Amino acid sequence: MENNYHVPVLLEACMEGLNIKPDGVYVDVTFGGGGHSREILKRLNKDGVLIAFDQDPDAQRNKIDDPRFLFVDQNFAFLKNNLRLLGYKQVDGILADLGVSSHQFNEPERGFSTRFESSLDMRMDKQGDLTAADVINKYPEDELHKIFGIYGEVKNAKSLAKAIVTARMNEPVLTLADFKKAIAAHIPKGKENKYMAQVFQALRIEVNGEIKVLESFLEQTADVLKPGGRLVVISYHSLEDRPVKNFLAKGKFKGEVEKDFYGNQQKPFEVITRKAIVAEEEELARNSRARSAKLRIGEKL
Judged by CB under 6 A, the stretch of 16-24, 33-41, 181-189, 198-206 that binds ligand SAM is 33-41
Query: Residue 38 or residue 245: which is nearer to ligand SAM going by CB?
Result: 38
Out of 6, 204, 245, 252, which residue is the one contacting ligand SAM (CB under 6 A)?
Answer: 6
Judged by CB under 6 A, the stretch of 74-82, 112-120, 170-178, 265-273 that binds ligand SAM is 74-82
- Residue 5: what are its φ and ψ, rounded to 5°? -65, -50
Closest CA to 225 of 43, 69, 66, 27: 27
Q: How far is the CB of 9 from ligand SAM (least distance, A)?
A: 7
Q: How far is the CB of 122 from ligand SAM (least distance, A)?
A: 12
Closest CA to 102 of 42, 62, 51: 62
Closest CA to 126 of 104, 147, 106: 104
Is residue 82 at the binding interface for ligand SAM, with CB under 6 A as the rule? no
Query: Residue 151 or residue 195: which is nearer to ligand SAM going by CB?
Result: 151
Is residue 10 at the binding interface for ligand SAM, with CB under 6 A as the rule? no
Residue 22, helix vs strand vs coil: coil
Structure letter (DSSP) for residue 257: P
| Site mask for ligand SAM (CB under 6 A), range 193-232, x = bound | --------------------x-------------------
Is residue 293 at the binding interface for ligand SAM, with CB under 6 A as the rule? no
Is residue 59 at the binding interface for ligand SAM, with CB under 6 A as the rule? yes
Is residue 268 at the binding interface for ligand SAM, with CB under 6 A as the rule? no
Is residue 124 at the binding interface for ligand SAM, with CB under 6 A as the rule? yes
Query: Residue 103 or residue 145: which is nearer to ligand SAM going by CB?
Result: 103
Give the list of residues 6+ apart from residue 90 with CB closer than 8 angstroms, or none.
224, 225, 226, 229
Are the C-beta atoms of 56 and 100 separated by less than 8 Å?
A: no
Query: Residue 125 or residue 141: which is nearer to ligand SAM going by CB?
Result: 125
Structure letter (DSSP) for residue 121: -
Distance CA 248, CA 299 (A): 9
Q: In what order do the strands lie in the sheet containing 225-235? A: 69-72, 49-53, 25-28, 91-97, 225-235, 294-300, 269-271
Interface residue list for ligand SAM (CB under 6 A): 6, 8, 30, 32-36, 53-56, 59, 75-77, 97, 99-101, 124, 213
